[in-house]
Amino acid sequence: METEFRALAELCEKLEATSKRTLMVSLVAEFLKHLRDDEVEPAISMILGRAFPRWDQRTLEVSWATMSGSIKRLTNVDWKDFTKAFSKTGDIGAATKIMFESSRIQRQATLFEKPVTILEARRSLEAIAETSGYGSRERKECLIETLLGEVTPLEAKYIVKIMIGEMRTGFHEGLMELAVSKAFNVPHDVVQRASMLTGDIGEVAAIAKTRGREGISKLQFQVFRPIKPMLAQTAEDINEALKEHGGLTAFEHKLDGARVQIHKAMNKVRIYSRRLTDVTASFPEIVRLTREEVKASEAILEGEIIAVGKDGTPLPFQHFMRRFRRVHDIEEMVKRIPVELFLFDLIYIDGKSLIVDPYVERRKKLKEIAGNIPLTRQIITSSPREAERFLGEAINKGHEGLVAKKLDSPYTLGVRGKRWFKIKLSLEPLDLVIVAAEYGYGRRHNWLSDYYLAARDSESGEFLVVGKTFKGLTDEEIKDMTRRLEEAAIKEEHRRVVVPPKIVVEVAYNEVQKSPKYKCGMALRFARIMRIREDKSPEEADTIQKVRKIYEKQFEKKAIYR
Give me the active site residues, please. Answer: 254
Instruction: Give residues with Cβ within 8 angstroms of 402, minimum separation 6.
Output: 238, 251, 252, 253, 254, 387, 390, 391, 394, 422, 423
3-state secondary structure at position 476: helix
- Provide the 8-state DSSP code for 235: P
SS3 category, 381: strand
> 261 near 299, Cβ under 8 Å?
no
DSSP 374: P
Which among 51, 46, 53 is positioned nearest to 10, based on CA atoms?
46
Q: Are 280 and 269 in contact (CB under 8 A)?
A: yes
Question: ∠ at Cα 537 (94, 298), nearest 5°?
Answer: 130
Which DSSP symbol is given to 165?
T
Q: In angstroms, rounded to a whole number, what is the distance separating the alpha carbons of residues 302 and 252?
A: 14
Q: Is the dihedral of CA 328, 333, 334, 338 positive or negative?
A: negative
Rounded to 10 deg, the angle between the 153-164 and 118-129 helix axes is: 40
CA distances from 471 to 214, 391, 416, 453, 538 (A): 55, 28, 30, 12, 21
Q: Please, what's the b/e burial string for 136-157 (b: 16 or more CB within 10 A of its CB; e: otherwise)? A: eeeebbebbeebbebbbbbbbb
